Structure 1
């Protein structure tokens, strides 16, 4: 390896009272809200784990560290996350934990971000049905219409960068790679300078549901299925009562295959470059699996409860203390201790399985889930 041979799972502690300021920004998207992330010296942002974020466990933070290191080492430059504490932050905000990650800014002084949702709202395109866009976690997203837009059709370099990011998002099994997580870096006047580097790796399928193997295997199967692109049965997702969510899930179930085939056919050089980098990553996974071991950080929370977020949602989003109290009785508690040995064995096995699946689709072959 030419960068860091191992991801760094040591944590760093910051003090909220010693922050330089807060990164305050209203979330631009279908889910409204404000983020007030503390900023420290050297343009470091503390990104907390949030009590009301669906399915949040300490492994969300570990996923950020693991994938930012892997992506930076094998695929493209990205900001490096590290585990972090921010003393006094939970007491100040209530809705956030005082642990999470610390990460450098993804853009420079005098620059700003414009995500894809903001861009297509500002510059409508007949090929992009931006008014139909919805943001659901645990969904995969179709990017073919984005790549078919006039802007990306006439800006080849940016389109190729986006195509590479899409391929990496499939590799990391990102269940939340929506239009608000991809952005341009702009100058102060709004002129687009470049694609922003990839950030937000927390919803990686491999790191989700450490407290429920059944849930983990179901959602890993959904990742495999979407890459395969197998036709959906008419009643397959009838268990979803919400019609909008059901339609989203039906689209999610095949769209990763659609993305891969589109990139293979329209950006063959990007696909070839990705496959070369993927093969290097795969070889190291086989020959040096110890490089990819996720190590427990001393003092960092090591229990997982994928249901506890419902308490936070009731309290901080629904402002319903009665519901929150009922959920505390039903779902409260630290959950299960995270078994890092089991996590690492499953992580290597699952990632290698997805690599084989991606390679077959990008090489033009069919893949049948086992």
Structure 2
């Protein structure tokens, strides 16, 4: 196992060599213009208005990109980073974040699934009713049934592996804008792009609120196992559309797993073999997987602080932002990185076991 690397790269915003216009064009309005530095390194900042964002979002990117690259498939490696002067110019972002190599070469581009199905409609994929919701698991069966993936088996198998890995890392934001095709200069599709964006990993969410953390970990576990939704189970979601989304999310991982198991047995076996090696390493060499706190990086988590940023930068409601600031100021929890790491390792091993149970079970 390559050691987890938690050193911090330092940049000066004024020394950027360009800006990356967000390649993920989606249903959420607004554009991102992330700075690029020598070596085609993109600085990806923590965002003040991103739901539930804490410094662990950055550590999760380092953690999972290292594991995916080491155990499953080539993936761009994230590093912790500080870009001094960025927040002063783009106030909804922080100077803290991660840096990652660009996932494509000069002349190439990315086309995410939302863009693809808008450009090449398929009657099996109801892309017009797709929503981007940050705490929801997505059903990929219709995507696999689309003509393009039916005709391109290798890319379908690549996607199947990515979906399996997304379940392993407890990704609560693995939506259709986070999966992309790599295209050549003429727009022709080369392959599925490498996996990026690992921040919404369940194991690293809500470190300051145990009950919320356990709730969402159970939602992941229930969706893997395919437990039926009980009447009234999601009545705490008052918005009917949101409630419907959560009810669908509650069982869709299980459906994804069964579909992949049936249609891509070789990919399933490959994943299970690699996941078992990871589980063994997590047990026998757990010290290699511990998050090492970097003294230069924030070490306090407040999963509710994003409400301030949402009110100020998205809702443009300074009165509400000030009220949230008064309510939340000083409520952050100092992170115990060893405790977080040990908890995450145990939870990941449990999820691997749950996935093995579903994927190995004889129907």
User: How many angstroms apart in 2 are the aligned matches of 1:358 and 1:31?
Assistant: 31
Structure 2 counterpart of 1:70: 67
Return the match for 1:51 from 48, 53, 58.
48
Is contact 1:183–1:196 with CA below 8 Å preserved after alignment? yes
* 1:156-185 deviation per Cα after TM superposition (whole angstroms, max 9, x unaligned): 000000000000000000000000000001
User: How many angstroms apart in 2 are the aligned matches of 1:135 and 1:72?
Assistant: 27
TM-score where L is the length of structure 2: 0.98
User: How many angstroms apart in 1 are the aligned matches of 2:246 and 2:114?
Assistant: 20
Comparing 57-66 with 281-290, greater Cα deviation is found at 281-290
Q: Which secondary structure does the structure 2 equivalent of 1:34 belong to?
A: coil
1:217 aligns with 2:214: yes
Is contact 1:303–1:334 with CA below 8 Å preserved after alignment? no
* 1:47-100 deviation per Cα after TM superposition (whole angstroms, max 9, x unaligned): 000000000000000000000000000000000000000000011111000000
Structure 2 counterpart of 1:120: 117
Shift of 1:222: 0.3
Shift of 1:228: 0.5
Is contact 1:26–1:34 with CA below 8 Å preserved after alignment? no
Which stretches in structure 2 are left out of the alignment for 5+ residues?
A: none
1:40 aligns with 2:37: yes
User: How many angstroms apart in 1 are the aligned matches of 2:266 and 2:44?
Assistant: 35
Is contact 2:23–2:110 with CA below 8 Å preserved after alignment? no
Which structure 2 residues correspond to residues 10-29 of structure 1 after superposition, within 5 A?
Answer: 10-25=7-22, 27-29=24-26
User: How many angstroms apart in 2 are the aligned matches of 1:26 and 1:79?
Assistant: 16
Comparing 26-35 with 166-175, greater Cα deviation is found at 26-35
Shift of 1:332: 2.6
Structure 2 counterpart of 1:249: 246
User: How many angstroms apart in 2 are the aligned matches of 1:22 and 1:29?
Assistant: 19
User: How many angstroms apart in 2 are the aligned matches of 1:321 and 1:284?
Assistant: 49
Return the match for 2:83 from 76, 86, 104.
86
Structure 1 counterpart of 2:141: 144
User: How many angstroms apart in 1 are the aligned matches of 2:109 and 2:251?
Assistant: 34
TM-score where L is the length of structure 1: 0.97
Which structure 2 residues correspond to residues 177-256 of structure 1 after superposition, within 5 A?
Answer: 177-256=174-253
User: How many angstroms apart in 2 are the aligned matches of 1:283 and 1:336?
Assistant: 32
Structure 2 counterpart of 1:278: 275
Q: Cα gap change, 1:301/1:365 in structure 2, threshold over 3 Å: closer, same or farther?
A: farther
Shift of 1:334: 6.1
Residues paired across the two proteins, number: 363
1:106 aligns with 2:109: no
Q: Which secondary structure does the structure 1 equivalent of 2:271 belong to?
A: helix
Q: Cα gap change, 1:348/1:57 in structure 2, threshold over 3 Å: closer, same or farther?
A: same
RMSD: 1.1
Comparing 156-165 with 331-340, greater Cα deviation is found at 331-340
Structure 1 counterpart of 2:303: 306
Shift of 1:270: 0.3
User: How many angstroms apart in 1 are the aligned matches of 2:83 and 2:226?
Assistant: 43
Shift of 1:188: 2.1
Is contact 1:28–1:180 with CA below 8 Å preserved after alignment? yes
Is contact 1:110–1:188 with CA below 8 Å preserved after alignment? yes
Is contact 1:27–1:33 with CA below 8 Å preserved after alignment? no
